[in-house]
Amino acid sequence: MKRTLLILTAAVIAMTSCGRKPKPPVAEKIPFVVESNGNERVDNYFWMRLSDEQKNAETPDSQAVKVLSWLDAENAYADAIMKHTVPLQEKLFEELKGRIKQDDETVPYLDNGFWYNTKYLPGKEYPVLYRRKDGTDKPEVMLDVNLLAEGHEYTGVGGASPSPDNNLLAYGTDHVSRRQYTLQFKDLNSGELLPDNILNTTGQAVWAADSKTLFYVSKDPETLRAATVMMHVLGTPSSDDRVVYNEGDETFSVQLGKTKSRKYITIVSDQTLTTEVRLIEAENPTGTVQVFEPRRVDHLYSVEHLNGTFYIHTNADGAKNFKLMSCPENKTGMASWKEVIPHRADVLLENFEVFDNYIVANERIKGLTNLRIISMADKSEHFLDFGEEAYTAGISVNPNANTTLLRYSYSSLTTPNSVYDYDMAAKTKTLLKQDSVLGGFDKNNYETKRLWATAADGTQVPVSLVYRKGFKQDGTAPLLLYAYGSYGSSTNPSFRSGIISLLDRGFVYAIAHIRGGSEMGRQWYEDGKLLKKINTFTDFNDCARFLINEKYSSAEHLYAMGGSAGGLLMGAVANIEPALYNGIIAQVPFVDVVSTMLDETIPLTTFEWDEWGDPRKQEYYDYMLSYSPYDQVKAQAYPNMLVTTGYWDSQVQYWEPAKWVAKLREMKTDDNILIMDVNMTAGHGGASGRFERLKTTALEYAFMLDLEGINE
């Protein structure tokens, strides 16, 4: 459905053209009672919610017209408020775009006889996927996403996967931004598409060894849960596809993989607390599906296979920070597991890579990532030395086992993303590529630090920050504080070329590594979820207060930013301690926590109960209600706020931020700015093009710079 400008929008535009200060749109209040286990809450803006059927209808019904009118009015109001910053936004956009090397490409890697890499062409929004046969110098185009994007306002491509015989390419396309991909298949010799077309998948396909049988995951059409593994044989109708495995537990989703040995296809059922892996032999795709180790609550594990041995990354037997185990190919039960890397209370084993003669452990120590090289021959080990105070490093693409070379990536808040090959035997490293940052960037002009803020309960919370040299630590500088703090996802201090536009205008940029992530180990995550979720919010406020006390900024110049679950964080800190911030940017914010977690028809709900709690249980209902940003909006002064959302968002439905903004308008007692930018053609990740998405960044930066009186 195209965005439709209606009467309410015209009214806002007319007001602006008359020279008067635009007035914010006022949403109608229609009381709706949300009931659960005897609990009742009145939601005055429930009417903003549209079903997928209403959104996809050729002709909008009366409710859809009303909702679209409201969203258009919000966009028009935001445009009116930010109109005077348009020159600044345009300058920022060109600046952000100008730092990007337009004819960029990734470092090629060798896999199954071909070198693969991705290129961006000048002026193009989307990548082109290339391959080159080993021993030749003639690259060939596998997939040009720019061609797929023609005629579409949004294009996402997922799971591009060559067949084992190198003749075919499977890939998924999404032109709506709901993450419902259509699988297609391309003959790489002729360039023609096969007639096979499979709708409503995760976009991922895993090939069997015969290059004609493949596995994929179909999604529940309503909840979008990845629930059913299907087997397809090329040349047959998708209606004949066979169900290989259906995950009946609605709190789990499934995904596919393939071991490094290429011998096994893996079916992984997982949720927040529990994992179960199944195996299919790639040479026998119609054979028995074997359970590797039966699921049990609180057991998370993943498996890899090489040279007749399985390696298991597991938290079994109290290994909260995980350990690495191994077992013979024919004895996968836990009784046969042998320890390879033990559990350590102060080291989080995040993941690993196996080679014929080495194991590489990606570990997190005191909040920073480390790469440990272990020789299988003599068990000797050593770490890579990175030489910076705050950085991020990680294992990259390593499809081949018979090598001494480890491909890894490295960056910091001042060092652009870099790709290295490290010779694990010779202990030498080779820089293959460091991302080009155009526009006169020089890393020596900037300084990064690692600090520790003390939370209210005494916990030491790491903070990474960067600023341009010459910065005066006197409390007058503007500062942008970013965090996520959920799902155990760590926010690494990696390079972000966009923030240079802020640093060069006097901003400090900081990351609060708050509880709810895994920066300080698995317990760090456990202490920021379920009935301890409040720690996530108070940690962020305590980090903000620490930066103010240390005179990196002041409340008059401090800004906060977070997206999705980090947008929940923004809503919570705004309710709890709004006076700490001059401005808040909440990107696709998850703010209607209780209502969403009560509704099993909404995508992602059921398998997130172990993250937030199941509000059908009174204890969790009460606790979630105590911090839910939408429910806790109150009559008080709020900071200046910019809220962004996508109409087609499948992760956080657009109506959550829309309802939140409407309620904030109703309740807040200040005259500060509150605007919402609704992308009517995108979903959770925003615009799909590499340049187009920068327009939102330019808007966000202009919002903060304008509040600071910086107009160029």
Length in residues, the chain: 712
| 3-class DSSP assignment, residue 619 | helix
Distance CA 515, CA 367 (A): 11
Q: 558-563 and 479-482: which strand pairing?
A: parallel
Angle between helices 655-667 and 62-81 (to 10 degrees): 60
Q: Are 527 and 535 in contact (CB under 8 A)?
A: yes
Q: What are phi and psi of 4, to 5 degrees?
A: -120, 120
Residue type, 683: G
Q: In what order do the strands lie in the sheet with 358-365?
A: 347-354, 358-365, 368-375, 381-383
Largest CA distance in the chain: 80
Q: Are 240 and 223 in contact (CB under 8 A)?
A: no
CA atoms within 13 A on the CB side of 643: 31
CA atoms within 13 A on the CB side of 387: 3
For tokens 């652009």, the residue is: 416
- Asked about 684 being catalytic, the answer comes back as yes
Q: Are 172 and 201 in contact (CB under 8 A)?
A: yes
Q: Which of 72, 270, 592, 649 is catalytic?
A: 649
- Asked about 649 being catalytic, the answer comes back as yes
Closest CA to 660 of 129, 48, 89: 48
Angle at 644 between CA 638 and CA 645, to 5 degrees: 130
Residue type, 616: R
Q: Which of 313, 684, 688, 706 is catalytic?
A: 684
Q: What is the DSSP letter of 192?
A: P
Residue 74, CA distances (Å) to 477, 531, 595, 683 in order: 31, 35, 23, 17
Collect all residues with Cβ–Cβ distance below 8 Å to 695 and sequence separation of at least 6.
89, 93, 687
Distance CA 80, CA 206 (A): 49
**What does the block give as tokens for 13?**
């535009």
**What does the block give as tokens for 368?**
């920073």
Distance CA 207, CA 174 (A): 21
- Asked about 557 being catalytic, the answer comes back as no
Mark 51-85 as b/e (b = at least 16 C-beta within 10 Å): eeeebeeeebeeebebbbbbbbbbbbbbbbbbeeb
Collect all residues with Cβ–Cβ distance below 8 Å to 23 and sequence separation of at least 6.
12, 15
**What does the block give as tokens for 232?**
């397809």
Rg (CA), the chain: 26
Q: End-to-end CA distance of the chain, in Å?
A: 37
**What does the block give as tokens for 558?**
């401090």
Residue 469 CB neighbours (<10 A): 9
Q: Which of 564, 628, 650, 688 is catalytic?
A: 564
**What does the block give as tokens for 696?**
């939102």
**What does the block give as tokens for 642?**
């910019």
Q: 508-512 and 479-482: which strand pairing?
A: parallel
Q: Return the active site residues.
A: 564, 649, 684
